[in-house]
Structure 1
Amino acid sequence: MRTSMRDGCLVDYLCRDAVATITLRREHKLNAFNAELVRDLAAALRRFDEDANAQVAVLSGAGRAFSTGADVRERQARTVEEFERLGGPQEPDAHSYQLFNRSVNWKPVISAVHGHVLGLGLGIAFETDLLVAERGTQFQITETPRGLGGARYWGLLRFCGATAFGTEVALTGRYFTAEEAHAQGLVTRLAEVGEAQAVALQLASEIAQNPPLSVRATVRARRWFIESLCREIAAQTDPMKLYLTSDFREAVNAFLERRPVAPFSGR
Structure 2
Amino acid sequence: MALVEYEREGQVVILTLNRPEKLNAFSDELVGMLGEALHRFDIDDEAEIAILHGNGRAFSSGADVHQRQLRSRDEFLKLGGPQGRGTHSADLLTKAVNWKPVIAAPHGYVLGLSVGIVLECDLIVAEEGTRFQITETSRGLGAGKYWGLMHFRGGGAFTMEAALTGRFFTAEEALKANLINRVAPKGKYLDAARELAAEVIKNPPLSVRSTVRLRRWYMDRLSREIMHQTAPERLYFSEDFQEAARAFAEKRKPGKFKGR
Q: TM-score range by the shorter chain?
A: over 0.9
Task: Report whether the alignment pairs 1:227 with 2:247.
Answer: no
| 2:105 aligned counterpart, secondary structure | strand
Task: Report whether the alignment pairs 1:43 with 2:53.
Answer: no
Counterpart code for 2:224: R
Counterpart code for 2:151: R
Cα deviation, residue 9, structure 1: 2.3
Cα deviation, residue 258, structure 1: 1.6
2:97 is matched with 104
| In structure 1, distance between residues paired with 2:210 and 2:127 | 29
Cα deviation, residue 86, structure 1: 1.0
1:126 is matched with 119
Counterpart code for 1:236: Q
| 2:2 aligned counterpart, secondary structure | coil
2:53 is matched with 60
1:113 equivalent among 100, 106, 116: 106
Query: Normalising to structure 1: TM-score of the pair?
Result: 0.96
1:4 is matched with none
Cα deviation, residue 206, structure 1: 0.8
| In structure 2, distance between residues paired with 1:258 and 1:67 | 18
2:238 is matched with 245
Deviations 1:39-61 (A, max 9, x none): 11000000000001000000000
| 2:57 aligned counterpart, secondary structure | coil
2:161 is matched with 168
Counterpart code for 1:137: T
Query: Normalising to structure 2: TM-score of the pair?
Result: 0.99
| 1:145 aligned counterpart, secondary structure | coil
Cα deviation, residue 92, structure 1: 2.0
Stretches of structure 1 that go unaligned for 5 or more consecutive residues are 1-7
Task: Report whether the alignment pairs 1:13 with 2:6.
Answer: yes
Deviations 1:166-197 (A, max 9, x none): 11110110000000001111110110111111
Counterpart code for 2:81: G
| In structure 2, distance between residues paired with 1:105 and 1:61 | 24
| In structure 1, distance between residues paired with 2:256 and 2:156 | 30
2:17 is matched with 24
| Percent of paired sites with the same residue | 55
| In structure 1, distance between residues paired with 2:231 and 2:72 | 18
Task: Report whether the alignment pairs 1:140 with 2:129.
Answer: no
| 1:12 aligned counterpart, secondary structure | strand
